[in-house]
Amino acid sequence: MNLASTLGIYAAVQAELGSELPFPGSETVYTRFDCFTSSKLHAEFCRWAALAPTAANEAFNTVNGDIESWQNLWPRIAKHFGLRVPADQFSRPPSLPSDLPMGEWSPISVEASRIGLQGRTPPDRLKQRTDLQKWSQLPEVKEAWNRLSERHGLDKDAVEKATWGFAAFVLGREYDLVANMTKAREAGFQGFVDSWKCLDEVFSELEANKVLPKRK
């Protein structure tokens, strides 16, 4: 579930193709709230949970601690890779659209009656304006990645290794995702990561380790 490498490959190939960076997911999730988990913070949390007496036999959320939105993050990602977000991206026809059911029922429907939403929780759908799995298999995408990998000495198999399905889930769902860290805070865990700084740092690490091309 490596979101950073997948988005980095998408952006790097778009740059190689001389294109812009349209958001591949749903218009709905673009303006909704989201939260993320740094792998480093997650490791720190696991160590704390294994050793802290206050964490014994308890279940916790593990997220960075901030709340973000793709309308804030996506332009920053585009800038990092020397690209721009199309001003009219959601007015343009989708390039490789997909619309799939996420299940026969929505998880919140379990609590619908108790919280006053009975009959108001239809099954969720996963919508992409650009189906990333299909995009990754396009001949022009593979050719562009081959050029990049040869020019920069990158891992040629990175496109196949990328977790396109996970990225599709993150970018294509149509509901907010806000995970609360209050329980962990009260138990003594104080770790926090700024999600954009984390993404930016991971992009740089991927560049240094020849997974992504270095910025010009």
Establish if 200 belongs to a structural domain: yes
Q: What are the tens digits of pLDDT across the range 93-111?
A: 999 999 999 999 998 999 9
What pLDDT was estimated at residue 200? 96
Establish if 106 belongs to a structural domain: no
CATH of the domain at 15: 3.40.50.720
Average pLDDT of span 141-148: 96
Burial of residue 8, with CB atoms counted within 10 A of its CB: 0-12 exposed, 13-18 middle, 19 or more buried: buried
Establish if 178 belongs to a structural domain: yes
Token output for 22: 């349209």
Establish if 38 belongs to a structural domain: yes
Task: Indicate the residue type of 179.
Answer: A
Establish if 214 belongs to a structural domain: no
What pLDDT was estimated at residue 63? 97
What pLDDT was estimated at residue 1? 86
Quick check: 109 and 158 in contact, CB under 8 A? Answer: no
pTM greater than 0.85 (yes/no): yes
Report how far residue 136's alpha carbon sits from residue 66's, in angstroms, rounded to the nearest whole number. 31
**Phi, psi values for residue 25, rounded to 5°:** -90, -160
Range of the structural domain that residue 163 is part of: 3-56+64-86+129-208
Q: What percent of the chain has pLDDT over 90?
A: 94
Query: How many domains in the chain?
Result: 1
